[in-house]
Amino acid sequence: MNKYPLLSKVLVIGLLMLLLSIPLMMVRDVIQERSLNREAATQEVARAHAGAQTITGPVLYVPYTETFTRTVAVGDSGHTREERVTQAHAVIRFPTLMETRSQLATETRWRGVFPITVYTSLNHSSGRFVWSDVEPKEKNGQINLGQPRLLMGVSDLRGLLNAPQLKVEGRAVAVAPAPAAQRLPLPLAASLEVAQLRPGAVLPFELQLDLAGTERIGWVPLADENRVQLQSTWPHPSFGGDFLPRTRAVSAQGFDAAWSVPSLSTQAQQQFVQQQGEPRREPESFSVSLDNPVDVYRMTERATKYGMMFIVLTFAAFFVLEMVKRWRVHPMQYLMIGAALVLFFLLLLSISEHLDFVWAYTVASIACIGLLAHYLRHVLGGWAPGLLMSGLLVALYGVLYGILVSEDNALMMGSLLLFGVLAAIMIATRKVDWYSVMGAPAAQKPMTDPQA
C-alpha cells in the first residue's frame, strides 16, 4: 500500500467513517430512549391529572319491551298453538341539533426535564331531541317503554371537575354514573320521565361540563347537526381527527376554531349504534392537540440522519485541501475531527431539553466549531487555514439547520448541498495530476491526442 499512498489514505478515511457510524447510531438510541422517557412522563401526568379527553353525547337511550303473539307448531301432529312473547330492545335517539361553546385554559406541568401540557375546559352545550314513537318489529306488536335516560361520556372520568349540570325542558336533571348492571353504552346517565316522550315532543336541553385533561380534547359528532366553537390562549394548536375546523384563527395570543359537521358527512351515529354489544371501532371524531410546535426529539433525530453526510462532506473537504494545499492531516486527526462532529448531536439533544431548539442548536454549533477551530489551528499550522475550515463548518451547520426547519424543502436543499459540494470538489481538483499523486509510473498516464 505504500506504493499507492493516495489509495491507502482513501481506504483509511473510509474505515474511519465506518467506525464513526457506531457512535452516531448510539446517539440515535439515546434519542429514542429520551423520547420514550417523555412518553412515560406524559402517561404519569395523565394518571395523576386526567388523560386525553373525547366528549360523547348526550344521546337519548330508551329501553322497551315488545309483546306480540306468534303461532308455533305442536310436535309432528300438524296442530298449532298461539303463544305470547315478550322481547327486550332499546332505541337510541340522537339530538337533531347540538351547539357547544368551549373555553380552554392550559398549564405546563414538569416531570424532570419533560414539559407536559394539561388543560381545563369549560364546555356549554345546548340542543334538542325530537321524539318519535318506536315502530313494532312484529305484526300486532305492543310497545311498552322503559326508563328513558340521557347518556353521555368522556374518555377519562377523573377529569370531571364537578358533576355535569344538565337541564331538560328548563328543569334540572341529576347526572349520575350509569347503572353497571344494565351495561349502558356511556358511563354517565340522567333519568327522564316516560311522560315526556310524547309523539313529536321536542326536548330542549342544556349541558355544562367542566373537564380537565392532558394534551388533547375532542368531540364525537352524534347529532344531526353538530357545531363546536373552541377558544384558547394556547398559540400552537394541532387540529386532528376526521374533520378539520371550518374556520380557525391562530395567533400568538391563542386560537379560535369552529367546526360544523352534519350527520350526512359522518358515520358516527351508525358506528355508535354498532358498538352496542360488541365494540368494533371508535366513532369518528374531531379534536385539537396542544402540542409543542418544535418536537426536540424529532428534530434531533432528523439531524442525526444527516450526521453521516456531515462526516463525509467534512472529510472530503479535508482530503481535497490536502491534495490542493499540500496539507498533511493524520488519520488520528481525522478521527478526532469526526468525534467532535458526532458529539455535536449529543450536545444538541442534551441542551435542547433545557433551551429552545434554535438556541440549543446555536450553542452546540458554537461549541463544536470553536473546538475544531482551536484544534485545526495547530493541526494545519496557523489561524488562517483553521479559520478557513471553520468557516466551511459554519456554512455546513447553517445549511443543516435550514433543512431541519424547512421539512417540506428538505430534499431539495439536501440535493442542492450535495451538488454544490461536488461542483466545488471538481473545480478545486480540476488541475490535480491524480496519477502523480497516486505515485503511478509515467507509462500509466493516458496519452494526449494532439488533435483533441
Q: How far apart are CA 70 and CA 86, in angstroms?
A: 11
- Classify 209 in phi/psi space as left (phi over 0), alpha (psi -120 to 50) or beta: beta
Q: For the chain, what are the domain ranges?
A: 5-38+296-441, 52-69+80-231
Of 111, 156, 119, residue with least CA distance to 291: 119
Structure confidence at residue 450 (pLDDT): 44
Structure confidence at residue 268 (pLDDT): 92
Q: How far apart are CA 319 and CA 12, in angstroms?
A: 12
SS3 at position 226? strand
Q: What is the mean pLDDT of residues 57-76?
A: 83
Cell numbers 499550522: residue: 381
What Cα–Cα distance (Å) separates residue 437 from each residue in 2, 9, 401, 429?
Answer: 12, 11, 36, 12
Banded pLDDT at 276 (limits 50, 70, 90): low
Q: Which residue has the higher pLDDT, 276 or 165?
A: 165
Q: Provide the CB-side half-sphere exposure for 308 (13 A, CA).
A: 13
Structure confidence at residue 159 (pLDDT): 92
Banded pLDDT at 452 (limits 50, 70, 90): very low
Provide φ and ψ at 199, rounded to 5°. Answer: -55, 125
Q: What is the pLDDT of residues 367-424, one digit of tens each?
A: 999 998 888 888 877 788 788 888 888 888 888 888 877 766 667 777 777 787 778 7
227, 260 in Cβ contact below 8 A? Answer: yes
